[in-house]
């Protein structure tokens, strides 16, 4: 959002059918600036200059991350609404900050927009992002807009802060630590599959239904509060978010920590509707949920003697379910243990270039 000087304040009126090509970059930027709430004091220079200037949080470390959503790779506009794209673009980034135990503060938004995109879609995308930002007290402090000759791209950078000795990393798990998972798995991948197949949920089926899975896919809920709680009371020894599935996260944490893991098949908190969906297709629900991505839950490890700290975090986390799903082992392999005692290697997670 560089260079807005000289542009009249207020969004210029546009006709309902207007598209990105019908207005200039500056008019697009003005539409975004119009939607922003007032900046806090620590935003020294906000949107509208060549760069944003932030005052660092006192005695805190900066935590930064970026992640892009590319149309055709991460979403399909046929069944993901513009507001969902905005929400997702920020949510996946907040999830990474949550996994580090960081408190989010600011975001930058870089958009590459097809010229034929309706202006109302741009507005909705920004509004979807800003609604989630407001809930987590994140301020959009800058960005960029460019035209895309192909897909829509929403690239977000987030900036957060964490206490010096409170950062959660993937490395840190030790043999004997217990492995925990927030929420449920499998919902997002079934949400995506059912949206692709054009299957709708039943009316009134509630949080265990297919519509809930689709909502989980379209609007993932980053576990920012849990990440902060785990970091603040140092309950967790290692942590990672589940962008590419439980199997992938378990493997990454184990590798970073120089350990292995055994996941308990019976404990896997697979979403009820996801379980039914997989069973109807004669697919092993746990196996599918382990390798399915987009859940954005947190996987973390806890030293058994620090379990009381976890209890405190659990009480403060409210409704969020935390399930013990396994144990960290010295032997460097990640396996699933079935109820009959049989063990097998975890299935591979979602890989972007496969």
Min dist. Cβ of residue 214 to Mg ion (A): 23
Cα distance between residue 322 and residue 226, in whole Å: 10
Which one of the spans 95-103, 177-185, 187-195, 305-313 is the region binding Mg ion (CB under 5 A)? Answer: 95-103
Q: Using an 8 Å Cβ cutoff, are 52 and 141 in contact?
A: yes
Q: Tokens for 340?
A: 């009959």
Instruction: State the DSSP H helix or E strand holding residue 264, giving kind and residue range, or none if neither.
Output: strand 260-264
Cα distance between residue 251 and residue 236, in whole Å: 17
CA–centroid distance for 53 within its chain: 25
Min dist. Cβ of residue 43 to Mg ion (A): 26
Min dist. Cβ of residue 30 to Mg ion (A): 34
Binding of residue 96 to Mg ion (CB under 5 A): yes
Q: Which of 241, 248, 294, 295 binds Mg ion (CB under 5 A)?
A: 241
Which one of the spans 18-26, 73-81, 90-98, 126-134 is the region binding Mg ion (CB under 5 A)? Answer: 90-98
Q: Using an 8 Å Cβ cutoff, are 67 and 96 in contact?
A: yes
Nearer to Mg ion, 193 or 241 (CB): 241
Nearer to Mg ion, 99 or 154 (CB): 99
Q: Is 136 exposed, middle or buried (0-12, 13-18, 19+ CB in 10 A)?
A: buried
Cα distance between residue 159 and residue 93, in whole Å: 9
How big is the site for Mg ion, counted in residues (CB under 5 A)? 2
Which one of the spans 68-76, 93-101, 104-112, 244-252 is the region binding Mg ion (CB under 5 A)? Answer: 93-101
Binding of residue 121 to Mg ion (CB under 5 A): no
What Cα–Cα distance (Å) separates residue 231 from each residue in 57, 85, 96?
A: 17, 29, 14
Min dist. Cβ of residue 96 to Mg ion (A): 4
Nearer to Mg ion, 177 or 241 (CB): 241
Which one of the spans 23-31, 94-102, 162-170, 323-331 is the region binding Mg ion (CB under 5 A)? Answer: 94-102
Q: Is 102 exposed, middle or buried (0-12, 13-18, 19+ CB in 10 A)?
A: buried
Nearer to Mg ion, 69 or 211 (CB): 69
Min dist. Cβ of residue 80 to Mg ion (A): 21
Min dist. Cβ of residue 131 to Mg ion (A): 22
* 97 contacts: CB under 8 Å, gap ≥ 6: 63, 65, 103, 104, 158, 160, 222, 224, 227
Of 278-317, binders to Mg ion (CB under 5 A) are: none
**Residue ranges that bind Mg ion, judged by CB under 5 A:** 96, 241
């Amino acid at each position: 959002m560089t260079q807005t000087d000289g542009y009249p304040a207020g969004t210029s009126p546009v006709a309902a059918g207007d598209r990105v090509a019908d207005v200039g970059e500056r008019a697009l930027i003005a539409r975004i600036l119009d939607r922003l709430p007032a900046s806090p004091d620590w935003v020294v220079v906000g949107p509208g200059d060549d760069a944003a200037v932030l005052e660092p949080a006192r005695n805190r470390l900066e935590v930064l991350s970026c992640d892009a959503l590319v149309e055709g790779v991460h979403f399909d506009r046929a069944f993901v609404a513009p507001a969902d794209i905005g929400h997702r673009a920020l949510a996946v980034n907040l999830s990474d900050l949550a996994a580090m135990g960081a408190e989010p503060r600011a975001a930058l938004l870089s958009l590459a927009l097809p010229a034929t995109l309706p202006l109302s879609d741009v507005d909705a995308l920004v509004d979807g992002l800003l609604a989630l930002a407001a809930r987590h007290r994140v301020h959009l402090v800058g960005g960029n807009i460019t035209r895309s000759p192909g897909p829509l791209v929403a690239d977000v950078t987030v900036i957060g802060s964490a206490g010096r000795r409170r950062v959660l990393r993937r490395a840190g798990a030790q043999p004997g630590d217990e492995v925990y998972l927030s929420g449920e798995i499998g919902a997002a991948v079934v949400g995506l599959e059912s949206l692709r197949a054009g299957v709708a949920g039943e009316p009134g089926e509630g949080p265990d239904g297919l519509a809930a899975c689709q909502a989980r896919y379209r609007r993932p809920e980053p576990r920012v509060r849990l990440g902060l709680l785990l970091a603040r009371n140092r309950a967790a020894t290692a942590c990672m978010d589940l962008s590419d599935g439980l199997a992938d996260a378990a493997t990454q944490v184990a590798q970073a920590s120089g350990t292995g893991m055994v996941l308990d098949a019976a404990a896997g908190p697979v979403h009820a509707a996801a379980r039914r969906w997989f069973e109807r297709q004669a697919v092993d629900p746990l196996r599918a949920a382990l390798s399915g991505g987009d859940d954005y839950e947190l996987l973390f490890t806890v030293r058994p003697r620090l379990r009381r700290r976890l209890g405190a975090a659990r009480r403060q986390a409210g409704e969020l379910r935390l399930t013990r799903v396994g144990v960290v082992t010295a032997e460097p392999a990640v396996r699933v243990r079935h109820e009959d005692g049989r063990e097998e290697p975890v299935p591979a997670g979602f890989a972007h270039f496969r």
